[in-house]
Amino acid sequence: MPIKKTGNARMDFRLSGQLKKMIEQAAALSEQNLSDFAIGTLARQAEEIIERHRIIRMSQERYDEFAAFLDAPAEAIPAVSEALAERQRRKHPQSNKRPDSPTATE
């Protein structure tokens, strides 16, 4: 869905007079008013930066290492296994008793 480029939101910032004149010149050369030029330029730059951060780039060698890591069997982490077992015990305390263990009513 395309992003609407104009609306009610505002951005205010300070810049040098020299930079302002350069931006006004670029807007004029692009046959745009200052607001349209600034909004369009900022929007394009923002889209490019966001897109660069969405895409992961790596060499073929690094990709092969990454794929091998994902394909390798998972290693058991004792602390995680213990935490999951403890969670199960707390969630289902009745199922923790062994069938041959004595109960309080016996």
Residue ranges per domain, the chain? 13-94
Instruction: List pLDDT tens digits, range 6-33.
Output: 778 888 989 999 999 999 999 999 999 9
Which pLDDT score is estimated for 46?
95
Which pLDDT score is estimated for 21?
97
Instruction: List pLDDT tens digits, range 92-106.
Output: 877 656 556 555 454
Residues contacting residue 24 through CB under 8 Å, at least 6 positions apart: 34
Instruction: List pLDDT tens digits, range 45-86.
Output: 999 999 999 988 899 999 999 999 999 998 889 999 899 999
Residues contacting residue 89 through CB under 8 Å, at least 6 positions apart: 96
Which tokens in the block code for residue 4? 């609407």
Sign of CA dihedral 1, 29, 35, 18: positive
Which pLDDT score is estimated for 106?
47
